[in-house]
Amino acid sequence: MKVAVVGATGMVGQVMLQVLEERNFPLTELIPVASKKSVGKEIEFKGKKFKVVDLETAVKRKPEIALFSAGGETSLAWAPKFAEVGTRVIDNSSAWRMNPEIKLVVPEINAQALTAKDLIIANPNCSTIQLVMALHPLHKAYGVRRVVVSTYQSITGTGVKAVNQLENEYAGKEGEMAYPYPIHKNAIPHCDVFLENDYTKEEMKLTHETKKILADDTVLVTATAVRIPVVGGHSEAVNVTFDKDFEVGDVKRLLSEADGIVVQDHVAVNQYPMPIYAAGKNEVFVGRIRRDFTAKNTLNMWIVADNLRKGAATNTVQIAEYLLTKDWF
């Protein structure tokens, strides 16, 4: 089982390697792939060192699985080349997500939709993954009609340049800016680029990807995405209107029983999800679960997850683990 990690030197790529090691993924050969400037560098994995190669070399080695986290342009250009030699590509960029011929997968929700013919598989956006993880069991029980979500997103979603900006600002140093404004002591209501409808691309990803993953175009999602000076993960304030009424106790039970979700909702002792505690963990944490007293059949909840883990690397590795359960190699 040869596994290529494309973008192995990047922030998500490094976490992918950690998750592969932690979960003891049964690979026999690791092929770390990065840009030409990183070729020849060594990556350590399970106590062994592996040299970084370029994309062309990786394709020639015909890995069984390639985990991509190298940006949309790289994925569009190279995922088909890997697929041509029989490699199953799991792509973490936005390049393939809304392609109607490509499956958009959160394993706990829709891995069963994958077939032997799916050589390119899309990993959803980080903020979408944690949202649909909480929505899915409730959609099955009550029917999600409308979702209003406000995100509080970690700078790690932007990348190492944003982390450096925050660290520089915290230390009072001049440096390269990832954002058009300071992020230290600030909140920027601007994730990704603005579109013609005045929503950002990030906000529309929540709308479109949620429908595709839940396989229900009637679900309405409107979002406001905000970048905040946090490192540990993304948080979301979510207001959901259902077709059917619910009991809050039943909602908590359904979420508690769902794979990959941890309910943290004990306000009497100030227990609720926070990115400082979600950091480094693979689960999605849900709390502040309460009825919206201003609207019929409507619920409020607060969802937190490490965006580099379940929002990216962990979900990607989980898809690869699911593929191993099939006789497709």
- The helix or strand, by DSSP H or E, that contains position 163, with its residue range, turns out to be helix 160-171
- The helix or strand, by DSSP H or E, that contains position 223, with its residue range, turns out to be strand 220-227
**What angle, rounded to 10 degrees, do the helices at 248-257 and 126-142 form?**
120
Query: What per-residue string of b and e applies to 275-308 under the rule 16 or more CB within 10 Å gives b?
Result: bebbbebbbbbbbebeeeeeeebbbbbbbbbbbb
The span from the CA of 313 to the CA of 302, in Å, is: 22
266 part of the active site: no
Locate all alpha helices (DSSP H) within the chain, ordered by sequence: 11-22, 55-60, 72-84, 107-110, 126-142, 160-171, 201-214, 248-257, 275-278, 314-324
126 part of the active site: yes
The span from the CA of 182 to the CA of 91, in Å, is: 31
Active-site residue, selected from the candidate residues 136, 139, 191, 234: 234
The span from the CA of 91 to the CA of 316, in Å, is: 8
Active-site residue, selected from the candidate residues 126, 136, 139, 191: 126
What amino acid occupies position 66? A
Query: Both tokens of residue 267?
Result: 């306000």
Angle (CA) 300-191-70 rounded to 5° is: 115
What amino acid occupies position 130? Q
**Does residue 190 sit in helix, strand or coil?**
coil
- The helix or strand, by DSSP H or E, that contains position 20, with its residue range, turns out to be helix 11-22
Give me the active site residues, please: 126, 234
